[in-house]
Amino acid sequence: MTRRGKYLLKPLSVGQCATLRVPDVDRGPTDPKNLLVVVLKENDGLHTVSCREGIIGPKFTAADLCAIKQPLIKPEEVHDICLSIRTATARGTGGQGYVKCQCTTQCTSQWCSGFRKKLKCNSRCHPGRSCKNL
């Protein structure tokens, strides 16, 4: 089984770009399924990878990464911050997350969780009610 895997998996070199599949539990419904990464180090088949937002904490095997030909990220462009996959995905997409306020008022006071966190209300917060925090 391992002999066959060595032939099927393409070896990744340092500085090569790849895509990393983001698990369903670590991404929102509108977040992308893959994260663009660059290989920083390789040690005994485990790769240290980084995206534009920072270095991703766990190490990955070649089976977790899918190599791409275009050099979209350079190792010099990445930050030296260690992140989890969930944090890197959230920072990369700029999504607001899963906050919804469920207010019955106009969403202009600190009682509103969205107003307090300086987030705009959306259609899932309180459908059918008027809101000034749009």
pLDDT digits (tens, 9 = 90+) for 115-129: 777 777 776 677 677
pLDDT given for residue 131 in this prediction:
77
39/101 same-domain check: no
Low-confidence ranges of the chain (pLDDT < 70): 1-8, 94-100, 102, 123-124, 127, 134
110/66 same-domain check: no
11/64 same-domain check: yes
Residue 134 near residue 121 (C-beta atoms within 8 A): yes
pLDDT given for residue 18 in this prediction:
93
Of 42, 102, 99, nearest to 67 (Cα)? 42
62/105 same-domain check: no
Tokens of 75: 């190792």
Query: Which range marks the domain in which residue 132 is found?
Result: 97-134
Query: Cβ of 40: how many Cβ atoms within 10 Å?
Result: 15
Counted residue by residue, the chain has a size of 134
62/86 same-domain check: yes
**Sign of the CA dihedral running 71, 72, 77, 79:** negative
Report d(CA 52, CA 79) in Å as an integer.
7
Report d(CA 97, CA 94) in Å as an integer.
9
DSSP state of 52: T
Report d(CA 55, CA 5) in Å as an integer.
27
The model's pTM is 0.65
Report d(CA 131, CA 122) in Å as an integer.
9
